Amino acid sequence: MSKPAVDIGRIGIWYGGVDALPTPEARRAAQVVEELGFGAMWIAEAVGRDPFVSAAVLLSATERLALATGIANIYARDPMTMAAGQKTLAEAFPNRFLLGLGVSHGHLVAGVRKHDYSKPYSYMVEYLARMDKALFMAKGPDSDPGRLLAALGPKMLELSATAANGSHPYFTTADHTHLAREVMGPDALLAPEQMVVLETDPTEARRIARAGMKIYLNLPNYYNNLARIGFDESDWTNGGSDRLVDAIVAWGTEEQIAARVKEHHDAGADHVCVQVLAEDLAMPESQWRRLAPALLTN
């Protein structure tokens, strides 16, 4: 399939921490991202706010900024509800909402939501087909807004190019971006996430990076993907080896971080969403402001 109609530009901000902000401050975060010139703001779904409601709140606070979900959990709502949420936002905010959806992780699906997680790929295939056939008897958008899949392995990457408009890989590397582009072909949108730390001291930078990576290191989806691209069990010890930390998290100066983002673009990414790792849950406005000139002229 072709790229989605929504133009998210070449650089966006991935900000899972928006759920920790009071709503007025969350709205201001979106306004700052828009003011700085980033093409999109990405929000997550786990056990916090509903991403469709949050998207409406943030889109209503801005004028041009695109809002993308990274990702909406397909086990959280049935295909008809997912399609209805997508079309409602796409009609209300033309060419500004991009649905990213995915299978999430076993501990959130089976553990928290009590759904069967035995066949996530097959479930996704059926889910997308049901979305395509879902009834929607309301005023919809003038054109198909498109959708992305959270994809890491070859099968899901291929599905993201054939049954969706592209993929949103998370917690990965520029080497994976290259492999993803090869699997997906030239036409689908490829929008990887890149964690960053604005810190030049290696010890401090890696300390912040490990704190941000900790929650992901025990998740099989990410372990299996990183194993496919050359990491092994030794890289998971002590909060992640330096090799793994440096591959997942770009740290250093603004220029060094921009160089890592460029590696993704050179490897085939259309858009890179940058996630600033910080010490607390406060909006990382100062880091966004420091990064914007280097990233947006890259």
Long-range contact set of residues 130-134: C-beta below 8 Å, sequence gap at least 24: 130/78, 130/79, 130/80, 131/79, 131/80, 131/82, 131/83, 134/79, 134/80, 134/83, 134/84
Q: Write out pLDDT tens, residues 131-189.
A: 999 999 999 999 999 999 999 999 999 999 999 999 999 999 999 999 999 999 999 99
* Residue 269 CA neighbour count, 13 Å, CB half: 29
∠ CA 130-136-140, nearest 5°, is 120
Taking the C-alpha atoms of residue 137 and residue 223, their distance in angstroms, rounded to an integer, is: 42
Asked whether the beta carbons of 140 and 86 are under 8 A apart, the reply is: no
Q: Give the mean model confidence (pLDDT) for residues 9-31.
A: 97
Q: pLDDT band at 298, cuts 50/70/90?
A: low
Residue-wise pLDDT tens digits, 280-289:
889 999 999 9
238: left (phi over 0), alpha (psi -120 to 50) or beta: left
Query: Other CB atoms closer than 10 Å to residue 201's CB: what's the count?
Result: 11
The single-letter code of the amino acid at 191 is: A
- The conformation of residue 233, written as its DSSP 8-state character, comes to G
pTM: 0.97
Helix (H) or strand (E) holding 249: strand 249-251
All domains of the chain in start order, with CATH: 11-296 (3.20.20.30)
